[in-house]
Amino acid sequence: MPRYFKYFPTTPYSLSNNYTDIQTVTNLTTGFSFDNNLTENSVLYYEYTIKDGDTPENLSHKIYGTSENHWIIMKMNNIIDVKNDWPLDQESLVECANTKYSAYANTPGQTGYEWARDNTHSYYKVETKTNTFDGSKHIDIIQVDPFAYANISVSSTDYTLPENSVLRIDVSKTTKSYFEYENEQNESKRNLRILKPEYAQIVHNEFIRVMSDVR
């Protein structure tokens, strides 16, 4: 983000206590954020789902014609650290799981990913309510502890409603592995709000104005 930071004010800084080697550095503590009137106004943005291979830079180039406006994408979505706030592709996610869960692998040759794939992170009771008259369906997924999960009885029960339609309640149960959890968290990062190109220059000019005022 070199062109982004060039507008930030500078400040004197020394690494020593006697201040004999004072240097001029960029003051990264200076704040700049988008107003809610911008980030929450659906007229000004459109929704985008991040695809594998997308980066803030190449996405900015595709949308705004320059990679230098990638900071607009990041600020629009409150992305601070691309490493943690941007979704990984599947191969990178597997590598991440390998590293994160390698200490838990407890069988010879087992990788961290394999352990995460094969072990349970959380337990759920699933209640599906179906109105047989109009086919409408409502599903409740309730997280439970392992003991409650073990005692869930899978069942299907019909209840006759006053209008003579039938409400069917199906009870089942399911689990989520550690890798499924990681994948779910990763996928939740894919939705972006993209500032429409026609407003990008206005935002860029306002950014320069604000940074000039604090120099």
Give the pLDDT of residue 121.
98
Q: Which residue has the tokens 């600020």?
A: 75
CA separation for the pair 132, 166 (Å, rounded): 5
Cβ atoms < 10 Å from Cβ of 200: 19
Residue 5: strand, helix, or coil = helix
Element (DSSP H or E) covering residue 56: helix 56-64
List pLDDT tens digits, range 162-178.
877 899 999 999 999 99
The most confident of the ranges 18-22, 128-132, 180-184, 201-205 is 180-184
The answer to whether residues 200 and 69 touch, using CB atoms and an 8 Å cutoff, is yes
Give the pLDDT of residue 135.
85
Q: Where are the domains of the chain?
A: 2-87+190-213, 121-178
Radius of gyration of the chain (CA): 26
CA separation for the pair 64, 46 (Å, rounded): 14
Residue 35 predicted with pLDDT over 90: no
Give the pLDDT of residue 164.
79
Which residues are bridge partners to 131 per DSSP? 167
> Vertex 33, ends 78 and 215: CA angle to 5°?
140
CA separation for the pair 141, 128 (Å, rounded): 9
Residue 90 predicted with pLDDT over 90: yes
Residue 27 predicted with pLDDT over 50: no
CA separation for the pair 128, 170 (Å, rounded): 5
Give the pLDDT of residue 172.
98
pLDDT band (50, 70, 90) for residue 123: very high
Q: Side-chain half-sphere of 82: how many Cα atoms within 13 Å? A: 10
CA separation for the pair 59, 197 (Å, rounded): 12
**What's the mean pLDDT in 12-35?**
48
Residue 176: strand, helix, or coil = strand
Residue 26 predicted with pLDDT over 70: no
Give the pLDDT of residue 15.
47
Mean pLDDT of the chain: 84
- Length of the chain, please? 215
Q: Global pTM?
A: 0.75
Token representation of residue 194: 């993209």
Give the pLDDT of residue 9.
46
